């Protein structure tokens, strides 16, 4: 019974993905129609400059926003876990968790209006583009990092930090040599999660981006409305391969012994 | 100092944008850049209640909101039912295989949400894979109108959100104390009774979190209904998107967003209570 559910669920999740992978190697111009084996769609993909440009921009924005989200989320998680009960703590907690639960269409509209308002008041940001997408994705990612960091900090044995302090380490040294190494797994998980969210986001990027800064998901979404070519299938194979390689590396690094 | 800095980040990136959305609901649309007169100007209040009165008077928007909540409920219920079974299956596998099974749940995500929806279009459309297979098999003579329907949209939504339900349920079910179920079985409870009286209550908080984790984003989903849904069955996410990008009526988009948030306030607060470590 449990097995049947698991098989059904995995089959459902994988069916369209496996079909994409299979038909990526089809000669036919129509997606999901078999026309003999061919790798022409991979060649077409490698020659599609607009797509490659969008992919490169997406990767850069994802890496930059995951990094900013890491810093902000670390600070947020630290305050949530270590500052006890301060004035406004319930509001602080609700705001820190809000990006996790807000519908993305609301977050997108809200951040766009923030940027427009800031521009009217201060002249900055002068134009919307990669920079505003970067900030929007960081605002989303920091909430995910904060939750992971907070949970990890709450589960640490306080004796470890106390021992270091008793032996004369300054608070900064305690953080750098004891706390930080202990929370590295959550930081890595948080960075990767923020990276993934940014790389897959259509809605926030559509709202806060400007002309000339088209991320990969936004480009694909616009192409999808015009009708997709089998290039999409080839791209899915490339993404899946990249994810499998990254996952394999993470698996080897984390494997105990 | 770090607390002051994080307060500043939260106020700027989370609180201020939401306050601005609320205020923008009382702005006036104009032809210009930006296409709006804000509710407060140099001369003080200059706002309008047009967007809100249209929202409350026009059944179109109210129907859209209700339809979105209904579809989000169905999506979350389907994800919960299927996800619970899958999580039980993963939790009862050997520990070494659990990581592999979880990876199998997550890996399809890496093709990206847009490409996965493109795949569903390719499978469901009139000349698509499913219709071609059914016609080859001689089961149908005319293609079934699968795409651009509520059913197609639900398939896409469950496909997109299923892992959100599987992950919290798996975490809760792997941690449960199996001796409780053994004790119930030893005392003569049947398998169904054990499930209903022991397993299900133990997993109830995680099940509630899983339901909300799907329900909340599904209520405002844009991409999946846009790609797979029927054009005439409008959902609130698409309505906000359309008011913003097509009609360029920012106050209406902001008022709709505020209304959506108001309806989601209780589910969002419940989710935070269930999930936040305190």
CATH of the domain at A204: 1.10.3720.10
pLDDT higher than 90, residue A254? no
Q: Which domain holds residue A194?
A: 49-254
Mean pLDDT across B165-174: 92
A68: closest chain B residue by CA? B9
Task: Parse chain B into domains and list their residue ranges.
Answer: 57-275
Q: Is residue A13 part of a domain?
A: no
Chain A: closest CA distance from residue B183 (Å): 20
Q: Is residue A9 part of a domain?
A: no
- Summary count for chain A: helices (H), strands (E): 12, 0
Q: Is residue A241 part of a domain?
A: yes
Selecting from A104, A110, A220 the residue whose C-beta is nearest the C-beta of B21 gives A110
Task: Report the pLDDT value the prediction gives residue A256, as an integer from 0 to 100.
Answer: 54
Tokens 């059904």 map to which residue?
A8
What distance in Å separates the CA atoms of residue B93 and residue A216, rounded to the nearest whole number? 37
For residue B90, what are its two tokens?
A: 């993963």
Q: Is residue A20 part of a domain?
A: no
Chain B CB contacts of A210 under 8 Å are none
Helix, strand and coil percent figures for chain B, each rounded to 5: 75, 5, 25
A:54-113 residues touching chain B, CB 8 A cutoff: 72, 75-76, 78-79, 83, 86, 88, 92-99, 101-107, 109-111, 113
User: In the predicted model, what is the mean pLDDT of chain A?
Assistant: 91
Q: Indicate the number of domains in chain A.
A: 1
For residue A86, what are its two tokens?
A: 């301060």
In a 3-state reduction of DSSP, which class is residue A129? coil
Mean pLDDT across A147-163: 91
User: In the predicted model, what is the mean pLDDT of chain B?
Assistant: 91
CB pairs under 8 A between A and B: 232
A31: closest chain B residue by CA? B122
B159:A232 CB<8 A:
no
**∠ at Cα B161 (B155, B166), nearest 5°?**
115
Residues 6+ positions from A23 with CB-CB distance below 8 Å: A31, A32, A33, A34, A230, A233, B122
Please state the ipTM of this predicted complex. 0.91
Q: Is residue A237 part of a domain?
A: yes
What distance in Å separates the CA atoms of residue B151 and residue B123, rounded to the nearest whole number? 13
Per-residue pLDDT reduced to its tens digit, A4-63? 999 999 999 999 999 999 999 998 888 888 888 999 999 999 999 999 999 999 999 999
Task: Report the pLDDT value the prediction gives residue A229, as an integer from 0 to 100.
Answer: 80
Instruction: Enumerate the β-bridge partners of residue A37.
Output: A26
Chain A CB contacts of B119 under 8 Å are 16-17, 19-20, 233, 236
pLDDT higher than 50, residue A257? no
Task: Report the pLDDT value the prediction gives residue B6, as an integer from 0 to 100.
Answer: 95
Q: Is residue A14 part of a domain?
A: no
To the question of domain B57-275 being in CATH 2.170.130.10, the answer is no
Portion of chain A with pLDDT greater than 90, in percent: 69
């Amino acid at each position: 019974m449990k097995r049947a559910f698991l098989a059904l669920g995995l089959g459902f999740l994988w069916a369209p993905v496996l079909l994409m992978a299979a038909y990526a190697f089809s000669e036919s111009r129509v997606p999901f129609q078999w026309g003999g084996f061919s790798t022409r769609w991979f060649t077409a993909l490698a020659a599609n400059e607009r797509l490659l440009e969008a992919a490169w921009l997406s990767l850069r924005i994802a890496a930059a926003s995951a990094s900013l989200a890491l810093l902000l989320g670390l600070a947020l998680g630290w305050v949530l876990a270590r500052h006890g009960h301060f004035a406004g703590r319930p509001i602080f907690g609700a705001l820190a968790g809000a990006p996790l639960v807000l519908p993305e269409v609301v977050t997108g509209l809200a951040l766009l209006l923030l940027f427009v308002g800031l521009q009217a008041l201060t002249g900055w940001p002068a134009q919307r583009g990669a920079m505003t997408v970067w900030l929007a994705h960081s605002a989303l990612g920091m909430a995910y990092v904060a939750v992971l960091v907070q949970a990890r900090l709450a589960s640490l044995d306080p004796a470890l930090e106390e021992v270091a302090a008793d032996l004369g380490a300054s608070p900064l040294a305690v953080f750098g040599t004891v706390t930080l190494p202990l929370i590295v797994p959550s930081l890595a998980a948080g960075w990767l999660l923020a990276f993934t969210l940014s790389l897959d986001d259509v809605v926030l990027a559509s709202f806060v981006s400007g002309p000339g800064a088209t991320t990969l998901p936004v480009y694909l979404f616009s192409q999808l409305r015009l009708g997709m070519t089998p290039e999409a299938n080839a791209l899915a194979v490339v993404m899946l391969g990249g994810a499998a390689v990254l996952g394999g590396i993470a698996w080897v690094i984390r494997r105990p012994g | 100092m770090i607390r002051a800095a994080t307060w500043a980040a939260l106020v700027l990136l989370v609180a201020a944008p939401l306050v601005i959305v609320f205020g923008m609901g009382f702005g006036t649309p104009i032809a210009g850049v930006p296409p709006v007169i804000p509710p407060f100007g140099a001369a003080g209040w200059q706002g309008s209640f047009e967007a809100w009165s249209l929202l409350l008077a026009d059944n179109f928007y109210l129907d859209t909101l209700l339809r979105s909540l209904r579809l989000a409920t169905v999506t979350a219920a389907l994800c919960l039912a299927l996800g619970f079974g899958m999580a039980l299956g993963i939790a009862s596998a050997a520990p070494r295989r659990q990581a592999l099974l979880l990876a199998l749940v997550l890996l399809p995500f890496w093709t990206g949400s847009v490409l996965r929806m493109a795949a569903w279009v390719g499978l469901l459309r009139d000349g698509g894979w499913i219709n071609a297979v059914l016609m080859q098999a001689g089961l149908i003579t005319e293609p079934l109108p699968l795409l651009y329907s509520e059913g197609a949209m639900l398939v896409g939504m469950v496909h997109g959100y299923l892992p959100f339900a599987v992950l919290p349920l798996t975490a809760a079910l792997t941690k449960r104390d199996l001796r409780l179920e053994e004790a119930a079985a030893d005392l003569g409870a049947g398998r169904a009774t054990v499930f209903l009286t022991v397993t299900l209550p133990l997993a109830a908080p995680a099940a509630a979190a899983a339901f909300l984790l799907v329900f909340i984003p599904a209520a405002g989903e844009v991409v999946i209904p846009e790609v797979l849904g029927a054009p005439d069955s409008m959902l609130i996410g698409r309505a906000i998107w359309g008011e913003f990008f097509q009609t360029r009526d920012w106050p209406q988009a902001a008022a709709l967003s505020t209304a959506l948030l108001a309806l989601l306030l209780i589910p969002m607060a419940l989710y935070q209570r269930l999930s936040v470590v305190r």
